[in-house]
Structures are given as C-alpha cells and as structure tokens.
A and B are shown apart, each in its own frame.
Chain A
C-alpha cells in the first residue's frame, strides 16, 4: 500500500496573478524620498554617467560657485573610497559618501540613509552623484525630480544610441569636457544630434567645468529649478 501523501502535497495547483513591480520596495522608498525632498524645499538631481565623464569635477565647481549663493548638498556613490566626498567636502556644502561595495548603482534606500545624516537646513538643491555606470542606474528611481546624464568628449558620439534606456530617461544631458573636444576628435554636434534622436525631451547643455564654457547655462538651469521648485 502506497504511503499517503503529505497534506501539503495534496494541495491543488493554483495560479496567482500578481502584477507586482520587481522594484516595488525601491519605488516605494523613492516616493518617500521625493516627498521628503519636497518638504525640505529641495530639488534633487540624479547625476548619471560612465566613470570618468566629469561628474565630480562639475560638482566641485558647481558647489563652489553656484553653491556660494544657494545652499546645496551632495551625496556621492562609489564602490569604494571616500575620495569624492573629500574633494567635494572642501566646499562648504554638506556632503555624504555612499560606498556600495560591489553594487553597480545607488538605490533609493541608500540615498535615504545618506541624506538622513546630513544637515540640510536651508539647502535648495541635492546633487546625487550616482555610481559611474550607464546601465544599472537606469532602472532605479532615487526620488529625484531631475535626471541628468553626462556624456564627455572622451567618449564616443554614439553613446546615446548604444545605451538607450539611460538616455531615454534623461531630463537633461550635459555634454562635458567640450574644451578638449577638438583634440580628441569628438564631434559635439553629432553627439547632440544622437541625444536628440534618443531623448528629444532632454535639455542639452554643452559645457566644460575646466574652461567654464557653458557653465552659466548650467547655473541658469539650476536657478530656474530652484525657483520653480521642481524639474
């Protein structure tokens, strides 16, 4: 006589429809972050790019110049070291470093924890410098109002065509290091055109944090974001 089946094995097969977001917990935290930033009267920008496209250099100059009149804060993400936070910490801005270990992107929870340790009184802009990566950060809403994607003259003009998800999600695209575009043979107009093909919604600014070209247009944009209180 066969052994009777265990009660659990006798259960009928069921199909359960869920339609649940795989990023549900991140998205929930992102909504909470967005609410918190709004309550603080702060516009949050998520800066995304490949490693080495000039996020930290741009932030250094922005915190020193734009940040002199308008209080700004920053959180910076890297796999390891607090080098970026120390660089940005030389300005008077409150800065927190997030070290992600092996994680290839920031998520909304990491940002919430990092922001929790900052004195944000009077801050009008929060810069979130994501881990250098053009793939993974695309999927993770951090609660920012404005997503800024950087593309430097040291890269290929066709990057927007090669990495559509991240460029598609951009509100602003900064073409950086344009002061050395000539030397590197980087066609700034071709890059701008590729951005417009993938992300016609994005505002494109050509700038150099070193020479200062285009930097005023960037500060004007930040100023208008602060005044409108959103992206």
Chain B
C-alpha cells in the first residue's frame, strides 16, 4: 500500500499549488497513472478520501486517467500498443522488445480550484 504515501504527497502538492494561486477550494484533481507504474488506481482512490479530509480539497473530485503501455521495436523502428500481458511483442517482426515508450507515468496533471 505505497499508494497511501504517494497520495499524501500528492495532496500536499495540490494544497501548496492552491495556496500559491490564492485559492481556497479545490474542486477537481486529475492524475495520470501508467499501466506499468506499479501503482493501483483503486488503492489511490481509497487513500484519497483520507488524505483530503479536513483540507480545502475535501469533497474534490478525483479523476484518474490511465495511460496504456506502449513499446517500441528497435529493429522495425515501430511503436505499438502492448496487450495486458505486458509482453512487448512487435506486431511486425514478432521480436520481444524491452523498450518502453509509455506506461510508467505517475503524474499530477491538472487541478481545478477557486
């Protein structure tokens, strides 16, 4: 459950942004979470409610955009979507590649505040 710690630092960053923008309420928080980030969106949601309690972000919406994994074949110079088994098989030549183009994202993307 490293999601609890990650969510606590996220909310700390959100509140510091809100203060910096002289906002008193946070309405919506958007995160991007990669399929290979090692972080579970459901566990983040669970940690969210506890992390925002009693803060200006209490009651804010949490949107989690999932970022699918994409691989790249160095032989074919081709980028491709990866199936849920996370085996990066090139659709053109069939070689299994270790190159990850996207999927590790773990990002505080956007905040809506007033």
Contacts and interface: CB of A to CB of B under 8 A. Distances in A.
B21 A16 contact: yes
A18 B9 contact: no
A20 B27 CA distance: 18
A105 interface: yes
B55 interface: no
A18 B17 contact: yes
Question: Chain B CB within 10 Å — which of A20, A22, A24, A197 has the most?
Answer: A22
B112 A17 contact: no
Contact of A164 (B13, B27, B86, B110): B86
Contact of B110 (A15, A23, A168): A15
A113 B108 CA distance: 27
Contact of A21 (B23, B36, B85, B106): B106
A201 B25 CA distance: 47
B36 A165 contact: yes
Nearest to B82: A164
Contact of B113 (A16, A25, A135, A164): A16
Contact of A139 (B38, B88, B97): B38
Contacts of A23: 6, 106
A14 B36 CA distance: 31
A78 B85 CA distance: 31
A84 B1 CA distance: 24
B66 interface: no
Range of interface residues on A (Cβ < 8 Å): 35 or more
Given A136-B2, A165-B37, A197-B96, A15 B86 contact: no
Interface string B1-30: 110011001100100010001111101000
Given A104-B2, A165-B37, A14 B98 contact: no
B113 A14 contact: yes
A23 B23 CA distance: 24
Contacts of A197: 87, 96
A22 B36 contact: no
A196 B112 contact: no
A22 B113 contact: no
A58 B50 CA distance: 40
Given A21-B106, A21-B107, A168-B86, A14 B38 contact: no
A140 B39 CA distance: 11
Contacts of A168: 36, 86, 98, 100
Given A11-B24, A20-B107, A22-B107, A139 B2 contact: yes
A161 interface: yes
Interface of B: 1-2, 5-6, 9-10, 13, 17, 21-25, 27, 31, 36-39, 85-88, 96-100, 106-114
The 4 closest A-B pairs by CB, nearest first: A201-B98, A138-B38, A164-B86, A8-B24
